[in-house]
Amino acid sequence: MWTKPTFSDEISNEMYATGARSLNCCIQCATCSSACPVVDFMDHTPRRLIGMINAGLRDEVLASNTFWMCASCYACSDHCPKGIKPSELMYVLKRYSIWKNRYREDLVGPEFSRRFVRTIAKTGKSYEPGYAPAFIFEGGLQGMVREMRMGMKLLAKGRIPLIPSRVKRVENFRRMLSRIVPLEGIA
Amino acid sequence: MKRYAYYPGCSAETVSASYHLSAVETATKLGIEFQEIEDWNCCGATPYSNIDELLAQTLCARNLAIAERDHLDVVAPCSACFKNLFHTNEHLKTDADLAEHLNFALEEDDLHYTGSVAVHHLIHVFVQDVGIEAIEGAVKHPLTGLKVAPYYGCQLVRPDRHDGFDAAGPRYFEDLLAAIGADPLPYPYRVRCCGASLMIANRRAALSMVRDLLRGAVQAGADVIATTCPLCQLNLECYQADVNREFGTAYAIPVLYFTQLMGLALGIRPKQLGIGTELVPAKAVLDCVARKPAVTAAPKRAKARQP
C-alpha cells in the first residue's frame, strides 16, 4: 500500500541523488557546525537542523534561516566523519523551500536566486547591475547611497561595463534550457 | 606550446577584468595558449543550484561540449566556475542517464558531450603544467621582501576532488609565491570562505566573514592578500571600506590576483596586468617591484661588472 512520504523521506530522496550517506547516519558530533564560517548567523546550527529533519519537524525546518545562510563553502562536507555532505543538504533545502514556496519573508536569498536564474535564462550571462538594484533598498536610503558610492567607484575604474554581454546563440540557448525545465516558470 | 579552452566567466567582463588580463598575459609569457570557449555561457554560480540542479548542470555541459568540439581541456580562472564545471564534468562522466538527459538538451545548440575533456583551475595549470621550477626560472623581478597572505578561498580546494589540489593541506600557492621571490606567510584563514554572494543575501554575515579574513592577514603581517577567485577579490577588496564603516576598523590592505603578482615578477608592466583598477591601491606591491633592482640585485651586478 502506498503511503505519503514523510518530510524526512522527501529530503532523503532528494539527498540520494547527491551521493551522500543517509542523514540517519548522523551521530550529532557537530563537526559540521564547528567547521561552518556562518554558523553565528544561523538560527539553528547545521547539526541541529539534521536532527530536526530526522525528527520530522517540517514546519520548524522550513521556518529556519540556516540553509539560506549557507555560502556553499563545503567546509562541513569536507569534515563530516560520516560522509553526509551537509552542504548538499543546504542546497536540497533551498530547492525544497522554493518548490513549496515556503520560506521566511525576511530572507533575500530566494528572490535573489530567482532573479539570477531569470537573468541568465534570458541572456546566458551574468550582469550584476541587472539583478542587484532590487536589493540595494534592503538598507534603506543609507544602503542605496552606500551601494551607489561603490558602483560609481567601480564604474570610474572601468570595472562595470554599461552594456551587458550576452550569448550569441541565445535562442538556441533558451530552447536548450526549456528542454530541462519549462522556461515560462522562470523567465 | 600547450593549448587550453579558456573559460573567462562572467566577472571577467565586469569586476575582474584585471584577472582576465593578467591571466592571459602571464600564461602567454609562460608558453600557454588560451583559446576562449566560443560563445560560452554563465556557469550558473550558486543560485542555479538553489533552484534546479539539472538546469545548473546543463549550463556547464554546454561549455564543456563546446570545448570538446575543439578537442581542448578547459581552464577556468574563477574558483566558482571551476568548481561547477569540474563537478558537472565528473557527473557526466560517471552517470550515463544524466549524460543522455543533458545531451538531449544540448541538441538544441547542435552540441553533444561525450566526456573527454578535463577541467582545471588556472593556478593548477601553472603549478602542474608549467611547474614551480620553470616559473622560478622565468622570474625577472623577484618580489623580494613582499609579505603575501596566500588566500586559496573555499571552492578552489573544496569539495574533495581527490586530485591532489584539494583541501588536505595544500602547499602549492605558498610554493608558487616563493618561486616568484615573495614571502608567503602562514595565513590561518587561507581556506576559509569569503562570504561569496551572501554579500547580497545577508550583508552583515558576509561583512563579518570578510572582517575576519582581513584581520587575519593584517595580524600575520601581510603587505598584500593574493587571491585565485573574482568573488573573493571583490568581497575582500571592494567591501573593505564597508567593513571599516561597520566595525570601526581601518583596514587598507591591497588584494591582488596571484596572476598579477606573477606577472610583475615575470617583468610584465603593471598596466598590462590591470593594476591600477583597485579600490585599495596596491602601493606596497608596486614599491617592492620598483625598488627591487636597486636594493638587492643591483650591488651584486655592480660588483660583477667592475673588473
Distance from CA of B28 to the nearest CA of A (A): 23
Query: Residue B211: its chain A contacts at CB < 8 A?
Result: none
Q: Which three cell numbers stand for residue B293?
A: 633592482
Measured distance CA(B58)–CA(B56) in Å, rounded:
5
Q: For B49, which residue in chain A has the nearest alpha carbon?
A: A91
Across the interface, of A69, A158, A180, the residue whose CB is closest to B202 is: A69
Q: CATH assignment of A7-99?
A: 1.10.1060.10
H helices of chain B, in order, are 17-29, 47-51, 53-69, 79-94, 96-106, 122-124, 132-138, 172-179, 198-201, 203-219, 230-233, 240-247, 258-265, 283-292, 298-305
Is B53 in contact with A159 (Cβ distance < 8 A)?
no
- Among B13, B209, B241, the residue with its CB nearest the CB of A165 is B13
Which of B114, B104, B25, B29 shows the shortest CA–CA distance to B68?
Answer: B114
State the CB neighbour count (10 A cutoff) for residue B108.
18
Q: ipTM more than 0.90?
A: yes
- Segment B86-115 shows an average pLDDT of 97
How many C-beta atoms surround the C-beta of residue A58 within 10 A?
Answer: 18
What is this structure's pTM? 0.93
Which residues make up the CATH 1.20.1050.140 domain(s) of chain B? 2-121
Q: Do B277 and A126 touch (CB under 8 A)?
A: no
A147 or A112, which is more confident? A112
Tens of pLDDT, residue by residue over A107-130, are 999 998 998 999 899 999 988 766
Question: What is the residue-averaged pLDDT of chain B?
Answer: 93
Residue A86: its chain B contacts at CB < 8 A?
none
Least confident segment among A154-158, B90-94, B212-216, B282-286: A154-158
Pairwise pLDDT comparison (A134 vs B274), residue with the higher score: B274
Find which of B7, B13, B51 to mutate to test the A interface (most A CBs within 10 Å of its CB). Answer: B51
DSSP B240-287: HHHHHHHHT------EEEHHHHHHHHTT--GGGGTTT--SS--HHHHH
pLDDT at A63: 97
Check whether B163 has a pLDDT greater than 90.
Answer: no
pLDDT band at B303 (very low <50, low <70, confident <90, very high): very low
DSSP conformation class of A41: G
Q: What is the mean pLDDT of residues B168-174?
A: 91
Band of the pLDDT at B162, cuts 50, 70, 90?
confident
| Over residues B145-154, mean pLDDT | 97
> What pLDDT sits at residue B294?
43
Residues 6 or more apart whose CB falls under 8 angstroms from that of A146 comprise A139, B242
Would you tell me the crossing angle of helices B240-247 and A140-156 to the nearest 10 degrees?
A: 150
Residue B126 has pLDDT above 90, yes or no: yes
Which residue in A has a C-alpha nearest to residue B197's C-alpha? A71
Q: Taking residues B162-177, what's their average pLDDT?
A: 88
Q: What is the pLDDT of residue B42?
A: 97
**Residues pairing with B169 in the sheet:** none
CB contact under 8 Å between B242 and A180, yes or no, is no
pLDDT of residue A163: 81
Closest residue to A159, CB basis, from B17, B110, B203: B17
CB-based contact A117 B55, cutoff 8 Å? yes
The nearest alpha carbon in chain A to B277 belongs to A157
Contact assignment for B50 to A94 by CB distance below 8 Å: yes
With contacts defined as CB-CB under 8 Å, which chain B residues touch A64?
none
User: Which of B11, B200, B234 is the mutation pick for testing A, counting most A CBs within 10 A?
Assistant: B200
Nearest to B41 among A72, A173, A175 (CB): A173
State residue A183's pLDDT score: 82
Determine the distance in angstroms separating the CA of A91 from the nearest CA of chain B, rounded to an integer.
Answer: 6
Instruction: Return the pLDDT at B178.
Output: 98
Q: Give the start-to-end residue ranges of the domains of chain A.
A: 7-99, 109-185
> Which of B16, B160, B193 has the CB atom closest to A71's CB atom?
B193
pLDDT tens for B192-250 read 999 999 998 899 999 999 999 999 999 999 999 999 999 999 999 999 999 999 999 99
Cβ(B6)–Cβ(B38) below 8 Å: no
CB pairs under 8 A between A and B: 181
Question: Which is more confident, B297 or B121?
Answer: B121
Share of chain B above pLDDT 70, in %: 95
CATH number of B2-121: 1.20.1050.140
Residues of chain A with Cβ-Cβ distance to B59 below 8 Å are 120, 177
Nearest-CB residue to A132 (from B44, B195, B200): B200
Q: B102 with B61: CB under 8 angstroms?
A: yes
Q: What CATH fold (topology level) applies to the domain B140-298?
A: Rossmann fold (3.40.50)
Contact (CB<8Å) A172/B54:
no
Q: What is the pLDDT of residues A80-105, one digit of tens each?
A: 999 999 999 999 999 999 999 999 99
| Binary contact (A181, B52; C-beta < 8 A) | yes
Per-residue model confidence (pLDDT) at position A132? 62
d(CA A4, CA A23): 19
Lowest mean pLDDT among A66-70, B77-81, B278-282, B288-292: B288-292
Note whether A126 contacts B17, CB cutoff 8 Å.
no
Position B295 scores a pLDDT of 44
Residue A117 grid coordinates: 536564474
Mind telling me how many Å the CA of A111 is from chain B's nearest CA?
Answer: 9
